[in-house]
């Protein structure tokens, strides 16, 4: 039994695996069971099954209380790649409130039969998931000799009618806030996704780490940077075709930056950063170097309370501008950035309050930015046109469903227009939206990601 710190936030447990390669027919014999205590486990790099406390990282484990041990199981979310259909499976494990409870998770299909026994602390609820299962599959959860939950799905339910083998331009990294991420590559037919492990660092106990794409070396393809505002830990990751993104440098920054945004200050194609502390108002423009070191363009005092700071393109030059917005007061400012680190104001206006998403998008081919603004409480969604004068106009004003707490623009189908990835961390639902030039929208993908991601970060892995 592995012993480590209590309440480890995000775990990948190694599963005993028996594979009868190339054989059809009955499943192979069940593998030996090893019991693991999730309260003291740590992430294992070559594991397959992911466990997390329910609500993580928005609430601490241990808040769920039930009358007796229980479990749920599901198999859903068909996705396809290279003519194969894959399914996601998962479920939840809720321990007896009076005692630690041992659960056995068993997953069986035509060529494999493996299981893991998991000891869940008293009263806690943990979710588990596995994304790369193929073939007719059954998952069964038991405890104390009794079956508590099961689910099955046959591969015909997940067989693609048409498959594109061409990737879109951008990928998404779905991120858990603890240091774990998976890449989501959307294919150009707009209807399929492929998942792959991209980061497995597990450095944050707080679940507050943010992830941003950066360009450090001028070579096609973006790097990634993570930063934890609670601990100050900052890491750059470089991409490798075999192992995914791996850490190349780690440093300790000052704590408390709740905005970390990549921008372009000097036209050299390498990224700079805007970092901002909404409590103190301190704002720094940071230069990035290929070796992972950083420098400071400028260090200034801004007003406090900006909860949105996003780069936009208002004119034809190579430098970014910024849209900053305070969702409490409704104040919105368009900011000009200069290569010497100074800033200027395009416009200072009063918007309506409560927009928790202000996302730069592309609705036409002029390469100047438009905005998508969204209120997750009311569901109101507006597509906004930006003009070089700093004024704004409205493409469309619609009512969407409520609760999308992640809204990320990307270019997934190799057109000049943006798509938007939506994710609801309370339900686990993920939708990929196609944006139309006139302000209309369509749906490419509507599926389930699980309820433990905190962000979906756009990244261009290959520079295409």
For residue range 136-190, list pLDDT tens digits in order: 888 999 998 899 999 887 756 665 544 444 555 788 888 888 888 888 876 655 5
Answer with the residue of higher pLDDT: 408 or 164.
408
The predicted pLDDT at position 359 comes to 94
Task: Determine if the pTM surpasses 0.85.
Answer: no
Residue 174 main-chain phi, psi, to 5 deg: -85, 130
Look up tokens 């026994």; give the residue: 117
Look up tokens 């997953």; give the residue: 107
Burial of 356: CB neighbours in 10 Å, binned 0-12, 13-18, 19+ = middle
Q: Smallest Cα–Cα separation from 36: which of 51, 18, 56?
A: 51
Answer with the residue of higher pLDDT: 61 or 118.
118
- Mention every residue, 6+ apart, whose C-beta is less than 8 A from residue 103: 69, 71, 93, 117, 118, 119, 120, 141, 142, 143, 148
List the structure tokens of 53. Answer: 């406390």
The predicted pLDDT at position 137 comes to 85
List the structure tokens of 23. Answer: 């054989």
Q: Is the pLDDT of residue 2 over 70?
A: no
The predicted pLDDT at position 343 comes to 84
Q: What is the 3-state secondary structure of 382-438?
A: EEEEECCCCCEEEEEEEECCCCCCEEEEECCCCCCCCEEEEECCCCCEEEEEEECCC
Q: Which of 98-102, 107-111, 120-124 has the lowest mean pLDDT?
A: 107-111
The predicted pLDDT at position 260 comes to 95
Look up tokens 């259909």; give the residue: 85
Work out the pLDDT band at 447, boundaries 50, 70, 90: confident
pLDDT tens per residue, range 217-232: 878 889 999 999 999 9
Domains contained in the chain, CATH given:
11-158 (2.60.40.10), 167-459 (2.130.10.10)
Work out the pLDDT band at 424, boundaries 50, 70, 90: very high
C-alpha pair distances (Å), 428 with each of 59, 134, 152, 395, 455: 16, 21, 20, 29, 12
List the structure tokens of 52. Answer: 């997390």
Answer with the residue of higher pLDDT: 273 or 269.
273
Q: State how far Cα 25 lies from the chain centre.
A: 38
Distance, in Å, from the CA atom of 320 to the CA atom of 262, rounded to the nearest integer, reads 9
Mean pLDDT of 34-52: 48
Look up tokens 């405890």; give the residue: 143
Instruction: Give the number of other CB atoms < 10 A from CB of residue 415.
Output: 17
Answer with the residue of higher pLDDT: 368 or 23.
368
Work out the pLDDT band at 403, boundaries 50, 70, 90: very high
């Amino acid at each position: 039994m592995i012993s480590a710190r209590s309440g480890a936030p995000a775990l990948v447990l190694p599963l005993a695996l028996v594979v009868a390669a190339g054989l059809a027919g009955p499943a192979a014999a069940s593998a030996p069971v090893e019991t693991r205590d999730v309260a003291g486990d740590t992430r294992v790099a070559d594991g397959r099954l992911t466990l997390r406390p329910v609500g993580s990282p928005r609430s601490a484990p241990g808040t769920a209380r039930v009358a007796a041990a229980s479990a749920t199981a599901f198999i859903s979310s068909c996705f396809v790649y290279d003519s194969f259909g894959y399914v996601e499976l998962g479920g939840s494990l809720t321990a007896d409130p009076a005692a630690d409870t041992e659960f056995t998770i068993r997953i069986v299909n035509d060529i494999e039969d493996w299981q893991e026994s998991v000891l869940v602390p008293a009263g806690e609820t943990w979710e588990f998931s596995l994304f790369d299962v193929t073939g007719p599959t059954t998952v069964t959860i038991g405890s104390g000799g009794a079956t508590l939950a099961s689910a099955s799905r046959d591969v015909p339910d997940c067989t693609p009618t048409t498959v594109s083998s061409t990737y879109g331009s951008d990928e998404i990294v779905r991120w858990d806030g603890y240091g774990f991420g998976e890449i989501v590559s959307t294919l150009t037919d707009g209807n399929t996704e492929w998942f792959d492990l991209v980061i497995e660092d597990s450095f944050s106990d707080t679940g507050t780490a943010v992830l941003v794409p950066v360009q450090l070396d001028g070579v096609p393809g973006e790097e990634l940077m993570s930063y934890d505002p609670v601990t100050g830990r900052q890491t750059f990751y470089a991409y490798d075709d075999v192992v995914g993104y791996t850490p190349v440098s780690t440093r300790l920054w000052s704590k408390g930056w709740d905005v970390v945004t990549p921008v372009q200050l000097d036209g050299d194609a390498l990224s700079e950063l805007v970092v901002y502390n909404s409590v103190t108002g301190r704002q720094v423009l940071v230069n990035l170097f290929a070796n992972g070191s950083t420098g400071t363009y400028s260090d200034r005092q801004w007003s406090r309370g900006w909860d949105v700071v996003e780069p936009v393109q208002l004119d034809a030059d190579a430098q970014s501008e910024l849209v900053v917005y305070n969702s409490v007061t409704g104040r919105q400012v368009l900011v000009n950035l200069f290569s010497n680190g100074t800033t200027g104001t395009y416009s200072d206006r009063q918007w309506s309050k409560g927009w928790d998403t202000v996302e730069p998008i592309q609705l036409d081919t002029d390469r100047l930015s438009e905005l998508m603004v969204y209120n997750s409480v009311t569901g109101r969604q507006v597509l906004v046109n930006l003009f070089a004068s700093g004024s704004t106009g409205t493409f469309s004003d619609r009512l969407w469903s409520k609760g999308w707490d992640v809204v990320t623009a990307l270019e997934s189908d190799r057109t000049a227009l943006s798509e938007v990835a939506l994710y609801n961390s309370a339900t686990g639902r993920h939708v990929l939206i196609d944006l139309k030039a006139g302000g209309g929208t369509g749906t490419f993908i509507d599926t389930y990601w699980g309820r433990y991601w905190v962000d979906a970060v756009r990244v261009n892995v290959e520079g295409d």
